Amino acid sequence: MNTNSNKTVVVAMSGGVDSSVAAALLKEQGYNLIGITMKTWGYDDLPVNDSGCCSLEAIYNAGNVAAKLGIPHYTFDFTERFNQIVIENFITEYMSGQTPNPCVLCNKTIKWGVLLDRAKELGAGFIATGHYAKINSEDGRYYVSNSKDERKDQTYALWRVSQEALSRTLFPLGDFKKPEIRKIAESLDLKTANEPDSQEICFVPNNDYRQLLEARIQGIKEKLSRGEIIYNNQKVGEHKGFPYYTIGQRKGLNLALGKPVYVTKIDAEGNRVYIDDEQGLYKKGFIAKEINLMKYANIKNPMKANVKIRYKDKGSVAAIEQTDNDTVKVIFDEPKKSITPGQSAVFYDDDDVIGGGVIREIID
């Protein structure tokens, strides 16, 4: 694990309480700190959230905390790269019938990509964030492990971070729970002590991704509406555009079938949305692509793991098998509900992240 060698650390300061206390804890431990806030979306090019990370208020709050701690603070504009990598991928995935997780891609390419490169330019040996996670190392491999605060744990969103990046990362909050962090912030009289937790994707207006798609893709409603909704191989209605639907969705289908039905499949190529009874949401497993392994360099033999398929998922026991350098096959011990293509799947060995991948193919 990384130890304090009085090296320079770039602290990603989002303007929230977690990154603020992360900086305070590291300063107390004797590190030489540089606070950096990343501006990752524009304020005029599309309707975005006016609060949360990257907002003008957040940048001001981060600067205020840095001044209070007596450390330098800079705001870097990563808008172009963020737009090219994260937002464009988000739109492409939805237009392909997938449901993406942009925070995972942002962590890999922006926080542990562009920011890490900037940290190196500034002569910093490490970067630090306010994530609730721990870093461990064994046999030359770095991996993230669950934090003390199970409710706030963020290891699920970190599976794509590379070995080299993890070796240069500090997570000061891994051994704390959120109430403890707020108490520390209050004791230090930090401006962010009572800042509410961010619950939304930073670039999605009003937490409604449909607004983003409509702002970026002119005429999307006209292009995609009037596609078929299929139930038991028969057309039972028309959808409003397949990107507006997600696996497991029940509300907003505008169907009168006399019983609850759910979206079970999205066919982008055929412009169809498939629905079924609740039982139809349960599947045996899936194929994950674009994998990144942490704890082990590869999975030599099929093994049991706890597999999470969404952020709030507590995980389910499954057999995982690496079939090539980019693919893991997952079969659950019991059928799993609402497996969603495009979402991240993360494999755990007790508290440790084995690795993860993107769900691409469902196994019935």
Question: Which residues participate in catalysis according to the annotation?
Answer: 106, 202
Structure token digits, residue 104: 């995972």
What's the sign of the alpha-carbon dihedral 319, 323, 324, 326? Answer: negative
Neighbours of 141 (CB within 10 A): 15
* Bridge partners of residue 43, in order along the sequence: none
Residue 344 and residue 359 in contact, taking contact as beta carbons nearer than 8 Å: yes
Give the whole-angstrom CA distance, residue 115 versus residue 53.
15
Phi then psi for 79, rounded to 5 degrees? Answer: -55, -45
What's the sign of the alpha-carbon dihedral 216, 218, 221, 224? Answer: negative
Question: SS3 of 344, please?
Answer: strand
| DSSP one-letter string for 103-138 | HHHHIIIIIIIIHHHHHHHTT-SEEE---S-EEEEE
With tokens 């721990």, the residue in question is: 134
